[in-house]
Structure 1
Amino acid sequence: MKPRAGSCGSGGLTALFILLLLASPAGAQNPKQKSNYLRNIELCSGVDHALADARIGACTALIDAGQDMTPAGLAIAYNNRGNAYAAKEDYDRAIGDFDHSTELNPTYTKPFNNRGVAYFRKREYDRATDAFDQAIKLNPNYGEAFANRAGAYLKKHDYAHAVQDYDQAIRLEPNLDGVWNGRCWSRAILGALQEALQDCNKALQSGSANAATYDSRGLIYLKTGELRAAIDDYSAALRIDPKLASALYGRGLAKLKQGDKAGGNVDISAAKAIQGSIGDDFTRYGVQ
């Protein structure tokens, strides 16, 4: 369950236009300068899915004209440049920009969430949850931040808190990508198997037929002893992602429990070759 960074979107672009145009640089008065300035606003906002380097250059031009901008407009430019750096996996620079953004506008929620995403991708999960905490404190209706914090809790093996955050994310934004599967997976590990099954079925019915969802439902069936169904779901996951270690290992266990020692051992060996600790993970999930 990958965390998601806040995007600017059409509403964010409108806000950026207003905030920056209110303080349009005095030097940008001739048509060419004004055109360049407006184009920088568009690129910095990610219009037309601009490449990360183009976005960074445009945001940097706006930031360099910072003395002519409102603090709120400058905060947006730093946030957007941070997102562009994150897209290049330059997370330290991204975090620096998110820090600047929050300093300029402490009530702007997106950079708090985005900073959490950057820390998550650096595998600094405690810092990630702290950042998501701040985003949620500022906006208790921030569904993406709840979903992202749930993902961080999963990495920390805190499945109970993950479920609570997925509950909130689903209540606020039930169509967010990954939330139904995320809650399914968390509930499956905790042993709330019927509720988990409902969540996975909901995810699949909504068209989210990805490897992770089949993998999650496979774990449910493995725990309930429905071995044929487990093998079918793990196989479906592996058709989408042939190197998904948890699906290989789960299918191997199901095959072993069915008496297929050769097939089971092949899958388990393949899973361990991808992720050596996968057996420990399944022990933690309550399956051996």
Structure 2
Amino acid sequence: MSQTNPHPKFSFSGLPIVSQEENRLQQQRAQVMTLANQGRYGAAIAELEQILQENPESASDYNNRGLMQFRLQHYQAAEQDYNRAIALDPRLDSAYNNRANCYAAQGQLAEAIADYQVALDFNPGNLRAWVNQGVTYRDLGLYDLAIENFDLVLVLGTRLRGRVYGERGRTYHLRGDWNLALADYQRSLDGLSNSFSARRYRRTVEAWRSELLNPSKIA
């Protein structure tokens, strides 16, 4: 009686053999990332809808479509996609982080804090959840807690430094620590990349710095 080989097949290059279908899905998902990085969120959603028609049990694809909906400020549609992703994979920390962003955008800050915490319970290395929770603490006026989050992210890794310095700078700014704020704004501008999202965030940091340096110009 033949038995199933428990070991995956490998090509001569030492990499697992990928079927044509899997290769096509990888290409489609790569295209989604390209479209998102270009700010073409509607086109990315259309691509994800094709993927989900063939893979309706894919939590990560629902999560990614929710993110595109969020970028378009379609918060209810985004929340529905995140709920579906969590139903399919209850331990998907990125979906909790993203749903928390939806809550925060709609002013549901307590719900956002709770979802960020779930994301961090499942994955303490989720830097985005630490940052986003810090921003929400700041929105609640809990500046010390916000700064603790940002400081922790700077210890854990360098990937989000440009964003973290900007958010910590804004927190110092609102708390009245203006010299610390200016220093962090400059660190943020020096550390941001040239991606679409980074260019957009750069404009935000520049506006915050201008507000601090030229308060009389703020309407």
The TM-score by the shorter chain falls in which range?
A: 0.7 to 0.9
1:260 maps to 2:172? no
Distance in 1, Cα, partners of 2:150 & 2:201: 15
Please, which runs of 5 or more residues in structure 2 have no aligned partner? 193-197, 212-219
**TM-score normalised by the chain length of structure 1:** 0.57
Preserved CA contact (<8 Å) 1:187 1:193: yes
Please, which runs of 5 or more residues in structure 1 have no aligned partner? 1-13, 18-38, 45-49, 60-76, 83-97, 99-110
Distance in 1, Cα, partners of 2:205 & 2:78: 18
* Partner amino acid, structure 2, of 1:189: A
* Partner amino acid, structure 2, of 1:204: L
- Equivalent residue in structure 2 for 1:277, among 192, 196, 200: 200
- Equivalent residue in structure 2 for 1:137, among 53, 61, 65: 53
- Equivalent residue in structure 1 for 2:10, among 43, 53, 64: 43
SS in 2 for 1:277: helix
Corresponding residue for 2:122? 206
SS in 2 for 1:174: coil
Distance in 1, Cα, partners of 2:92 & 2:66: 13
Aligned pair count reads 192
Q: How does 1:45-84 map to 2 (within 5 A)?
A: 54-55=14-15, 77-80=19-22, 82=23
Corresponding residue for 1:175? 91
Deviations 1:2-25, CA, capped at 9 Å, x for gaps: xxxxxxxxxxxx7xx8xxxxxxxx
After TM superposition, give the deviation of residue 260 of structure 1 in Å. Answer: 0.9
Structure having the higher Rg: 1
Distance in 2, Cα, partners of 1:155 & 1:116: 19
Corresponding residue for 1:85? none
Distance in 2, Cα, partners of 1:266 & 1:228: 18
Distance in 1, Cα, partners of 2:77 & 2:28: 17
1:191 maps to 2:107? yes
After TM superposition, give the deviation of residue 247 of structure 1 in Å. Answer: 1.7
Corresponding residue for 1:119? 31
Distance in 1, Cα, partners of 2:138 & 2:205: 11
After TM superposition, give the deviation of residue 281 of structure 1 in Å. Answer: 5.1
* Partner amino acid, structure 2, of 1:268: Y
After TM superposition, give the deviation of residue 212 of structure 1 in Å. Answer: 0.8
After TM superposition, give the deviation of residue 200 of structure 1 in Å. Answer: 0.7
1:277/1:145 CA distance change after superposition, 3 Å: closer
Preserved CA contact (<8 Å) 2:133 2:149: yes
* Partner amino acid, structure 2, of 1:208: P
Q: How does 1:22-41 map to 2 (within 5 A)?
A: none
SS in 2 for 1:123: helix
* Partner amino acid, structure 2, of 1:165: D
Preserved CA contact (<8 Å) 1:222 1:250: no
SS in 1 for 2:10: helix
Preserved CA contact (<8 Å) 1:116 1:130: no
After TM superposition, give the deviation of residue 245 of structure 1 in Å. Answer: 2.4
After TM superposition, give the deviation of residue 209 of structure 1 in Å. Answer: 3.3
After TM superposition, give the deviation of residue 159 of structure 1 in Å. Answer: 4.1
- Residue identity over aligned pairs, in percent, reads 22
1:154/1:121 CA distance change after superposition, 3 Å: same
* Partner amino acid, structure 1, of 2:113: L
After TM superposition, give the deviation of residue 139 of structure 1 in Å. Answer: 4.7
- Equivalent residue in structure 1 for 2:168, among 230, 237, 251: 251
After TM superposition, give the deviation of residue 175 of structure 1 in Å. Answer: 1.2
Alignment RMSD: 3.0
Preserved CA contact (<8 Å) 2:93 2:122: no
* Partner amino acid, structure 2, of 1:245: G
SS in 2 for 1:178: helix
Distance in 2, Cα, partners of 1:247 & 1:157: 23
Distance in 1, Cα, partners of 2:205 & 2:186: 14
Corresponding residue for 1:9? none
* Partner amino acid, structure 2, of 1:262: N
